[in-house]
């Protein structure tokens, strides 16, 4: 009778706190990477690093902020590695899975879920933000982190978080003004209002 694989200490605890965050972490990674394949790679790398370092995590502290910090650092490492590699053009589509292999589940193959979540105009406006501003908006306005948590995740002062968020929101407001009017979220200027 084959023996059951031995559980690594704290594996159950890690799974309990980490797995419920996978969807949120994926959306943050999608905001960093802006494509599904790279976002999946970032999440996988972040989970692997978090699991390996979990013994250093202090129980009672904010696990979500801790794993987001790992995701951001993984993103930085990922793009540093990529910038050192020669540019390779992908000429063929992804190879089909071997016969009998389980079908691979992809969360967001064609960005459909992100489109449904924020819409084309909003996604385009987010994509136009500088990366340092985009991640602050994603962490604050989509993920709901507090300024202090964002500062800890990104390793920057709170004042820098506030400044980047202010500039990003101002840029988004300008970019999305027409969209807000079309959707009925913003009133027309005073001279266009009917009496």
Same structural domain, 149 and 178? yes
pLDDT of 97 strictly over 50? no
pLDDT tens digits, residue range 106-153?
322 334 444 555 567 777 888 888 888 988 988 888 788 899 989 988
Express the helix, strand and coil content of the chain in percent, nearest 5 each: 65, 0, 35
Provide the pLDDT for residue 30.
83
67 and 118 share a domain?
Answer: no
What range defines the domain where residue 114 resides?
Answer: 106-183
Q: 166 lies in a domain?
A: yes
pTM over 0.85: no
Single residue among 86, 116, 135 that ends a domain in this structure: 86
Tell me if 104 sits within 8 A of 94, measured CB to CB: no
CATH number, domain containing residue 17: 1.10.1740.10
| Residue 3 located in a structural domain | no
Look at the chain and report how many structural domains it folds into: 2
CATH code of residue 172: 1.10.10.10
In Å, what is the CA distance from 48 to each residue of 13, 14, 155?
A: 15, 11, 21
Residues 82, 110, single domain; the answer is: no
**24 is written with which tokens?**
């949120």
Task: Tell me: do 110 and 77 sit in the same domain.
Answer: no
């Amino acid at each position: 009778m084959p023996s059951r694989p031995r559980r690594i200490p704290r594996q159950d605890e890690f799974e309990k706190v980490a797995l419920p965050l996978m969807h949120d972490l994926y959306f943050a990674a999608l905001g960093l990477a802006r494509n599904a394949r790279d976002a999946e790679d970032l999440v996988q790398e972040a989970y692997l690093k978090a699991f390996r370092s979990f013994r250093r995590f202090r129980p009672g502290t904010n696990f979500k902020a801790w794993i987001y910090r790992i995701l951001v650092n993984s993103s930085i490492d990922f793009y540093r590695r990529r910038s050192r590699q020669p540019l390779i053009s992908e000429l063929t589509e992804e190879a089909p899975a071997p016969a009998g292999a389980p079908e691979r589940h992809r969360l967001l193959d064609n960005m459909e879920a992100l489109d449904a979540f924020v819409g084309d105009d909003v996604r385009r406006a987010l994509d136009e933000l500088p990366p340092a501003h985009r991640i602050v908006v994603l962490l604050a306005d989509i993920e709901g982190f507090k300024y202090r948590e964002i500062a800890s995740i990104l390793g920057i002062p709170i004042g820098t978080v506030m400044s980047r968020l202010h500039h990003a929101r101002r840029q988004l407001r300008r970019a999305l003004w027409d969209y807000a009017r079309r959707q009925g979220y913003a009133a027309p200027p005073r001279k266009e209002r009917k009496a």
